[in-house]
Structure 1
Amino acid sequence: MFTPEEINSFEKEINQIRETYNTDVVIYTTFSTDGKSLKDFAADFYDYNGFGVGDTKDGLIYLVDMGSRQFQPVTTGNTIAVLNDNRLERIKTRISEPLSEQNYAKAMEIMLTDVTSYLKEGPVKGYRYNPETGQSEKVRYISATKIIIALVVASISGALFYFRVTSTYKLKKSTYHYPYRNQSEVNLTDAQSVKTADFVTTRHIPKPPSNSGGGGGGSSTFTGSSGTSHGGGGGGSF
């Protein structure tokens, strides 16, 4: 499938990626996935063969199954946030044609070039990898405009409170007397307390799915048999 020269070229590029971006890249071809889905097969091969960089095992495995003529990328660790679903879909679009033309080396060369470019850019703005959940999550932040508005509102509220308290104290110190004898009135009525029935309604709220969504800058994720979380968008056939 690949010539020795092509394999040597891939190894040089992958080593460069490891040294520069602390990210592992695995290209794996097979004729059978032993009855497993491509995602599960790729994840297990990656997890049980010691691939990945650092505690979060950052990296990517690109599986090409010649038996079913399908391909599937699987990401791990911080690479999940960098190679999100949208970016993996773009890589898929670019390599589909050379794969269908049986130009496998060119397809993998394009993949490595695009992966390097995305690693250089880093995670999509507003997203980061959460090692505790194993997912790419949206970062919540407050803009400078919102901070300024909050400060202005707080200042106005404080000023109003100050003037209200000041006015109250001024009223207490004055000699004003309310004519309560002339202005008062007492009405006595017979009141009965009636106990009404209490009604409690319940509503079942379903739990969200375990996989995160892949829209926008996010990544759809799944868990391999090792218990490690992986990203797995951008698969296809050729």
Structure 2
Amino acid sequence: MRIIQRKTKSRICLAGVLLCIVMSLSVSLSAYASGRQVYDDAGLFSDEEITELTEAVDKAESETGWDLMLLTVDDASVVSTQDYAEEKFNEYTESDDGIAFVLDMNARVFYIATAGESYKYIVDTRLNKMLDHATEYAGSGDYKQAMDSMLEDTLIYYQAGKPNNLAIYDEDSGIYYQEEGSSEPHLDKMELLFATLAGAAACLVFCLFITGKYRLKFGRYHYNAREHGAVKLHRSEDHFVRQFITRRKLPKDDPPSGGGGTSSVHQGAGGRTFGGGGRGF
């Protein structure tokens, strides 16, 4: 009887140990999954390349403080690469600031989704240069180098800092607004007075020059149109061939002056504000 009880206790202890091991493995796997930065669902990279890319992401994240995701996908059910990038960023990251780089092999599109602080550094002009580099490598089949170039460019632009006089363009409303902390150039009172006097003086000199050149006599000068005028008529015919219509949403106002960068944003997946853009390769 005692032997049976000992066996039962041993089995219970063994089951408890196994349960603890399973739970520990589950927690570890969950933590590993949430900490991943490279999701190669299209199967483009070797294990060694994934390790190298992960190390490169770690370095970039350490310097920027952003969450950076590298994703590949080859799925015909993905209707919009933009939506896919934004949804995966929301799913896999915890920070409000970061970037998702997506290589969509089915659509042959490279897309960059910027969130939070990152779209203030990766403005439209910088974004286009990043896509230039990425699509050049992706078009030749060097997908790892395409991702490497994205990370390198991200660090370069982060180190360069936010552009001066940064303007944010809200694509949904069509309105520009000045980024808080950016300096909008302006004239002080003395500069404004000097500019006004200089403009008035230039206008006066121009008027006197024209008056003297033509020797106009105010009130008595009359131009004889019949004597000096001439009319020539030419027949011309236009033939309608075809019609092209291009539609695009026009901004409601002009971008702020000052020559700074502009970052276009929109309300994306999950109601989060995203910048970014994509290009085919």
Q: Under TM normalisation by the shorter chain, which class is it? A: 0.5 to 0.7
2:271 is paired with a residue whose SS is coil
Deviation (angstroms), 1:81: 1.0
CA contact (8 A) 2:165 2:260 kept: no
**Please, which runs of 5 or more residues in structure 2 have no aligned partner?**
1-43, 195-248
Q: Deviations over 1:128-151 (max 9, x none)?
A: 779xx9x984535345xx336279
2: distance between equivalents of 1:68 and 1:41? 12
1:32 matches 2:111: no
Q: Deviations over 1:153-176 (max 9, x none)?
A: 9xxxxxxxxxxxxxxxxxxxxxxx
Match of 1:221 in 2: 265
1: distance between equivalents of 2:106 and 2:192? 63
Identity level (%)? 25
Equivalent residue runs for 1:130-145 within 5 Å:
137-138=178-179, 139-143=182-186
Match of 1:104 in 2: 143
2: distance between equivalents of 1:44 and 1:4? 25
Greater mean alpha carbon deviation, residues 30-39 or residues 4-13: 30-39
**Which one has a larger percent helix, Structure 1 or Structure 2?**
2
2: distance between equivalents of 1:92 and 1:72? 8
2:92 is paired with a residue whose SS is coil
CA contact (8 A) 2:103 2:110 kept: yes
1:61 matches 2:100: yes
Of 95, 102, 115, the match for 2:134: 95
Deviation (angstroms), 1:8: 1.4
1:94 is paired with a residue whose SS is helix
Of 73, 82, 87, the match for 2:112: 73
1:147 matches 2:188: yes
1:124 matches 2:163: yes
CA contact (8 A) 2:168 2:262 kept: no
Deviation (angstroms), 1:218: 1.1
Deviation (angstroms), 1:67: 1.0
Match of 1:42 in 2: 85
Amino acid at match of 1:46: F
1:13 matches 2:56: yes
Match of 1:237 in 2: 280
Distance 1:136 1:226, change over 3 A: farther
Deviation (angstroms), 1:105: 0.7
Amino acid at match of 1:64: L
Q: Deviations over 1:11-62 (max 9, x none)?
A: 112112222111121111111263431111111111133343xxxx111101
1:232 is paired with a residue whose SS is strand
1:71 is paired with a residue whose SS is strand
1:62 is paired with a residue whose SS is strand
2: distance between equivalents of 1:39 and 1:127? 24
Distance 1:129 1:18, change over 3 A: farther
Q: Deviations over 1:65-114 (max 9, x none)?
A: 11111111010001011001111110111122211111101111111111
Equivalent residue runs for 1:159-170 within 5 Å:
none
2: distance between equivalents of 1:69 and 1:22? 30
Match of 2:15 in 1: none
1: distance between equivalents of 2:109 and 2:64? 28
Size of the alignment, in residue pairs?
173
1:74 is paired with a residue whose SS is strand
2: distance between equivalents of 1:108 and 1:13? 10
| TM-score of the pair, normalised by structure 2 | 0.54
